[in-house]
């Protein structure tokens, strides 16, 4: 090729206008990431503020709820002062905000437990369910979407659409009860209640709730991925991959999945937020000591410290995962913009 007689000095088109040096790219990426990070911090602050103000502007007095109806005015005033509830809203928020940075999220009005302790104890259970559900859903969705997209058969696509719709239409709590009935009593593959916290042994309590979650996650993920894959299949560069004769695995990854995955990855990261809410139901049905159950109990008793702590953590998780999701989407496919 080097001995070619084509003159390399002849003009190539539009070089200067369109080219960006990779180093500049990296700097731009760093700047974008920093910007996104700062934005996430701002969002996190608002999450904190809203979590803090939600209950304070909702009816019901936590002190009277905690002390009971026959508490004396003195006792109420004394407790109010102890928890700083006699001060103005903004002073309370300032105290909370500064406390946050020294790892103090307050204590429960009822159980006197530290909020951080409650979160540390119950959050792992919830996160574990979410991780299991998400991980399984992704592992199931990718091969399904890929094989349906590659099959090119109308009947298979039809079956795929119908079955995912049906699966989506079944309510999670119903499936959960059904599953519990089947695997908890007919065959005893799952303990009907109870929980133990250590990692491998807790799986026997968690696999069923995760599986039930998959029934609503897999249809959504596989359908989004399937439609991205169909778009990708129509693209010219897939033809190029076939013609270049790249290996099968490389073809599936570089020519099909990687150009199609970005929307699904971003969706997964947003779904985590929805899942946190959805897991509450699973925790109730399977009586798992997750954080969602703690939240519901705390709301009903106006336990300010617990509610705001948990809501804030939920918010932080959502902010964090969507940041990671956007970043992953970008790393997979540079056409995705991070602005």
Q: 162 near 330, Cβ under 8 Å? A: no
Q: 37 near 323, Cβ under 8 Å? A: yes
CA 292 to chain centre: 14
Nearer to other proteins, 10 or 186 (CB): 10
Nearer to other proteins, 61 or 231 (CB): 231
Smallest separation (angstroms) from other proteins to the CB of 82? 59
Nearer to other proteins, 7 or 73 (CB): 7
Total residues at interface with other proteins (CB under 8 A): 41
Q: Is 19 in the site for other proteins (CB under 8 A)?
A: yes
| Stretch in the footprint of other proteins (CB under 8 A) among 37-45, 48-56, 252-260, 302-310 | 252-260
| Stretch in the footprint of other proteins (CB under 8 A) among 31-39, 166-174, 297-305, 330-338 | 330-338
Smallest separation (angstroms) from other proteins to the CB of 339? 15
- Give the C-alpha separation, 314 to 47, whole Å: 9
Q: Is 248 in the site for other proteins (CB under 8 A)?
A: no
- Give the C-alpha separation, 155 to 163, whole Å: 12
Smallest separation (angstroms) from other proteins to the CB of 229? 14
Q: 70 near 87, Cβ under 8 Å? A: no
Q: Between residue 219 and residue 238, which ones bind other proteins under the rule CB under 8 A?
A: 235-237
90-95, long-range: CB < 8 A, 24+ apart: 92/52, 92/56, 93/49, 93/52, 93/53
Using alpha carbons, select from 258, 249, 309, 243 the residue that is nearest to residue 109. 309
Q: Is 30 in the site for other proteins (CB under 8 A)?
A: no
Q: Is 242 in the site for other proteins (CB under 8 A)?
A: yes
Q: Is 196 in the site for other proteins (CB under 8 A)?
A: no
- Give the C-alpha separation, 151 to 146, whole Å: 8
Instruction: Give residue for tokens 């699973």.
Output: 282
Q: 293 near 302, Cβ under 8 Å? A: no
Q: Is 249 in the site for other proteins (CB under 8 A)?
A: no
Q: Is 5 in the site for other proteins (CB under 8 A)?
A: yes
Nearer to other proteins, 281 or 332 (CB): 332
| Stretch in the footprint of other proteins (CB under 8 A) among 7-15, 66-74, 192-200, 287-295 | 7-15
Smallest separation (angstroms) from other proteins to the CB of 244? 5
Smallest separation (angstroms) from other proteins to the CB of 19? 6
Compute φ and ψ for 191, nearest 5 degrees. -65, 130
Nearer to other proteins, 18 or 74 (CB): 18
Smallest separation (angstroms) from other proteins to the CB of 226? 17
Q: 255 near 302, Cβ under 8 Å? A: no
Residue 201's alpha-carbon distances to 179, 191, 333, in angstroms, are 20, 12, 38
Nearer to other proteins, 256 or 318 (CB): 256
DSSP helix/strand/coil, 114? strand
Interface mask toward other proteins for 125-154; x: CB under 8 A:
---------------------------x-x
In sequence order, which residues have a C-beta less than 8 Å from that of residue 332 and are 6 or more positions away?
A: 258, 261, 262, 265
Q: Which residues bind other proteins (CB under 8 A)?
A: 1-2, 4-8, 10-15, 17-22, 25, 152, 154, 235-237, 239-246, 254-255, 258-259, 332-335
């Amino acid at each position: 090729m080097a001995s070619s007689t084509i003159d390399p000095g002849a003009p190539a088109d539009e070089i200067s206008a369109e080219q960006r040096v990779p180093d500049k790219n990296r700097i731009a990426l760093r700047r974008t990431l920093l910007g996104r990070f700062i934005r996430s911090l701002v969002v996190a602050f608002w999450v904190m503020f809203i979590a803090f103000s939600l209950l304070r502007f909702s009816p019901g007095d936590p002190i009277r709820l905690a002390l009971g109806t026959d508490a004396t005015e003195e006792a109420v005033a004394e407790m109010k002062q102890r928890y700083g509830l006699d001060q103005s809203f903004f002073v309370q928020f300032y105290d909370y905000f500064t406390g946050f940075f020294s790892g103090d999220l307050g204590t429960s009005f009822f159980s006197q437990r530290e909020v951080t302790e409650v979160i540390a104890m119950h959050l792992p259970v919830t996160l574990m369910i979410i991780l299991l559900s998400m991980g399984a859903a992704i592992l199931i969705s990718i091969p399904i979407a890929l094989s349906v997209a590659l099959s090119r058969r109308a009947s298979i696509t039809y079956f795929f659409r119908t079955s995912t719709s049906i699966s989506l239409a079944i309510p999670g709590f119903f499936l959960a009860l059904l599953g519990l009935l089947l695997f908890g009593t007919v065959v005893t593959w799952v303990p009907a209640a109870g929980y133990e916290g250590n990692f491998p042994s807790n799986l026997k309590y968690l696999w069923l709730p995760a599986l039930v979650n998959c029934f609503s996650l897999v249809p959504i993920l596989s359908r989004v991925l399937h439609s991205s894959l169909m778009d990708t299949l129509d693209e010219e560069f897939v033809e190029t991959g076939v013609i270049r004769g790249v290996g099968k695995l490389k073809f599936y990854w570089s020519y099909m999945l990687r150009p199609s995955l970005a929307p699904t990855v971003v969706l997964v990261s947003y779904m985590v937020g929805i899942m946190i809410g959805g897991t509450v139901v699973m925790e109730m049905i399977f009586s798992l000591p997750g954080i969602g159950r703690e939240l519901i109990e705390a709301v009903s008793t106006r336990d300010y410290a617990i509610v705001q702590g948990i809501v804030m953590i939920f918010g932080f998780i959502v902010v964090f995962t969507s940041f990671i999701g956007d970043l992953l989407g970008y790393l997979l496919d540079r056409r995705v913009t991070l602005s």
